[in-house]
Amino acid sequence: MTKRFSQDQTLLVLVVGLSGWLVPGAGYFVLNEQKKAIIIFATITLIFLTGLYVGSIGVINPVKEWPWYLAQILNSPIVAALGHLTTSGDYPVYGRPNEIGQIYTSIAGLLNLLCIINCLYLAHLRNLVNRKG
């Protein structure tokens, strides 16, 4: 019984964590918290898109700006596709728009990381409650 619970718990935590990374807020959706999922999705997506609007997709640069890219990739795997497009150098961005765009997109990624961690914690707590009850 304990071994099966451990496998179920591991599967739930993996599903919650991966879904929260694939689509911001989806981890909450898996946990049946639809309102929270919608709010998280809208907030993180709008912050990320604001950063792209201010600085263009050129702010996602996995080669020259890799420290920022590490924070940006936490948004979604879509960032990796955008990063692949920008490695050609066809999207130059300089000055303040570049800095502000990097800050916005990176903050969106770090905010998504906090939400993923919170989802994992909630999934773990629910498994503990179900185990006792």
Q: How far apart are CA 38 and CA 105, in angstroms?
A: 19
| pLDDT recorded at residue 93 | 82
* Structural contact between residues 82 and 105, judged by C-beta atoms closer than 8 angstroms: no
pLDDT tens string, the chain, 133 residues long: the values are 445 556 778 888 899 999 999 999 999 999 999 999 999 999 999 999 999 999 999 999 998 899 999 999 999 999 999 999 888 878 888 888 899 999 999 999 999 999 999 999 999 888 777 766 5
Tell me the CA distances in angstroms from 127 to 25, 39, 74, 90, 113, one per residue in order: 20, 24, 26, 49, 21
pTM over 0.95: no
| pLDDT recorded at residue 1 | 44
